[in-house]
Structure 1
Amino acid sequence: MAIANALAFLLYLCSSVILIRRFVQKDPTSVNASIPVGILIIMALLFHATDIFFTMKNAGGWELGLFTTFSLTTWLMALIALLVGMRLPNAHPGIIVYPLVAMSLMLKVELPSPEPPSLAEPALEWHVLLSLAAYSFFMLAAIQAIILAIQEKQLHQRHINGLLRKLPPLQTMERALFQLLTSGFILLTLGLITGLMFVDDLFAQHLVHKTVLSIIAWCVFASLLWGRVRYGWRGQTAVKWTLAGFVVLLLAYMGSKFVLEYLMS
């Protein structure tokens, strides 16, 4: 398990270096990094999945510690980033995502949960997977929103530096943002439905904050998507709503787990 974790960590970092080097080059066409990065990331995903598998096996089932959950979330992010990068090689999200994934692997080893919770009801597996997948999409959407905000600000100031010129047009970046938001919203909706089906006592199961904050986040993203369709919301409005919804969701998932596992244990 430790070997798989270390190999995945190194592969993610190597991929990040290749992508950053390719992005900052004056002539990116001189080096075709798509194939080696693709191979490296596929290998990293396999080793990362192996680490997750043995973690679950050693725990005798689903181990839902904070950084184990974060590791699983970032695995999904790395997979999504690989697929998005194939379509948008000039704005490969792996430049930001892969270092984040590597960090999650390091945190998982260095800061293990004191008493990691396990899955009480096997049927909740679908709820966990849907929720983590939704969180992955929204985290990518938050990263996309920050890049979009910087790109739009420099465009309005008519001062776009050389690196930002390499990004796709603003409309393409904005379209990608709402694709991520739509996918995440659908998964979050399904995650909330499957989760509420198995809730017996919100207080006894320590689910009050998580449930309330998740519903608030759902309302924020629903309002944003509705505003996009009804009023054509875009630009800074979309960025602010995206980041607000993500912060609420971050508090719901990671914030509540951190409090329960590290502050109240």
Structure 2
Amino acid sequence: MNVLFFEVTLLFYFLGTTLFLVQLAGRWEGIWKPAFVVAGIGFFFHTLALVSRMIEGGHIPLTSMHEALSFFSWALVMFFLVVELRYRVHILGSFILPMAFVSLISAAALPKEIRVLEPIFRNVWMHVTLSLLGTVAFAVAFVAGLMYLIQEHMLKSKHLDGLYHKLPALDFLDELNGKAISFGFPLLTLGIITGALFAEFARGSFLNWNAEQIGALGTWLFYLIVLLGRVTVGWRAKKAAYLTVVGFAGVVFTLVGVILKGQHPFA
């Protein structure tokens, strides 16, 4: 059943992405309402897919790249739904849902079989969950930074068209950027620590210096510098937006490398 629920989720995320992109293009102002409903239905089926996969596999479904990308997509949509209900930032779906859809399409292209885990690997979900939630927060910071740069460019060029009026205020985007990084960095830190402890327990070594671990440490160091810059020397607004866009590009590059090498989240 998890495969059926997964495929239904893909359909609804595709429809939701299409509707939100139509909204972004300014073709239909009220289209955010059906788009939000479609995204919510997709999230419901996505949750069913994850739960049914957990029941079928007998463990938390976070032990393969397929499952990790699916969870990343699920968490992104959950964040969007929560923020939309609280702040009514309709345009956010035009950025978040396409990202979630691309993540789910990538998951669909990877092997979907449920792995039979040795007992020693059954607790790895904690490390993967923390790391992925941190990555979701960085994705949100990326979206906030991207919207900030778009709006800031429109202001400078005095190109104040329909898109400009749909974007949130610059102060809100800068605040969202900072909060997302402040939320994601501790999660990634805990993810790295639990991953190192798990590696020591499973293999007798805290670090294997593989691509995933090097990428994770590089990401951690980059966002540490960004966070310290915001707190100590006032790296905000445009500079912070550029840094988070560049940082998330590095996260995506690392993730693609891990997928191409066929490594699992706990490799």
* TM-score, L = length of structure 2: 0.81
SS of the residue corresponding to residue 199 of structure 2 reads coil
Contact kept, 8 Å, 1:8 with 1:102, in 2: the verdict is no
Q: 1:88 to 1:255 in 2, by over 3 A?
A: farther
Deviations 1:175-222 (A, max 9, x none): 111111111112111211221222225889865332222122112111
Q: 1:24 to 1:63 in 2, by over 3 A?
A: closer
SS of the residue corresponding to residue 198 of structure 2 reads coil
Within the candidate set 232, 235, 238, 1:236 is matched to: 238
More displaced 10-residue stretch of structure 1: 15-24 or 188-197: 15-24
Contact kept, 8 Å, 1:211 with 1:252, in 2: the verdict is no
- CA distance in 2 between counterparts of 1:209 and 1:110 reads 21
1:141 aligned residue: 141
1:52 equivalent in alignment to 2:50: yes
Contact kept, 8 Å, 2:130 with 2:191, in 1: the verdict is yes
Q: Which runs of 5+ in 2 are unaligned?
A: none
Q: 1:107 to 1:220 in 2, by over 3 A?
A: closer
- CA distance in 2 between counterparts of 1:105 and 1:27 reads 26
- CA distance in 2 between counterparts of 1:17 and 1:110 reads 20
Contact kept, 8 Å, 2:66 with 2:112, in 1: the verdict is yes
1:209 aligned residue: 211
More displaced 10-residue stretch of structure 1: 71-80 or 193-202: 193-202
List aligned pairs for 1:79-158, cutoff 5 A: 79-112=78-111, 120-158=120-158
Percent of residue pairs bearing the same amino acid type: 23
List aligned pairs for 1:125-204, cutoff 5 A: 125-200=125-200, 201=203
Contact kept, 8 Å, 2:197 with 2:206, in 1: the verdict is no
Q: 1:129 to 1:167 in 2, by over 3 A?
A: same
Q: 1:230 to 1:194 in 2, by over 3 A?
A: same
Contact kept, 8 Å, 2:5 with 2:45, in 1: the verdict is yes
Q: 1:70 to 1:165 in 2, by over 3 A?
A: same
Q: How much does 1:127 deviate?
A: 1.1
Amino acid at match of 1:16: T
Amino acid at match of 1:198: F
- CA distance in 2 between counterparts of 1:12 and 1:195 reads 31
Amino acid at match of 2:230: R
1:66 aligned residue: 65
Q: 1:242 to 1:32 in 2, by over 3 A?
A: closer
Q: 1:152 to 1:89 in 2, by over 3 A?
A: same
Within the candidate set 233, 243, 248, 1:246 is matched to: 248
RMSD over aligned CA atoms reads 3.1
- CA distance in 1 between counterparts of 2:204 and 2:112 reads 23
1:75 equivalent in alignment to 2:74: yes
Contact kept, 8 Å, 1:16 with 1:99, in 2: the verdict is yes
Equivalenced residues, count: 259
Q: How much does 1:32 deviate?
A: 8.1
More displaced 10-residue stretch of structure 1: 197-206 or 154-163: 197-206
Q: Which runs of 5+ in 1 are unaligned?
A: none
Within the candidate set 42, 45, 58, 2:40 is matched to: 42
SS of the residue corresponding to residue 111 of structure 2 reads coil
Contact kept, 8 Å, 1:220 with 1:241, in 2: the verdict is no
Q: 1:258 to 1:53 in 2, by over 3 A?
A: farther
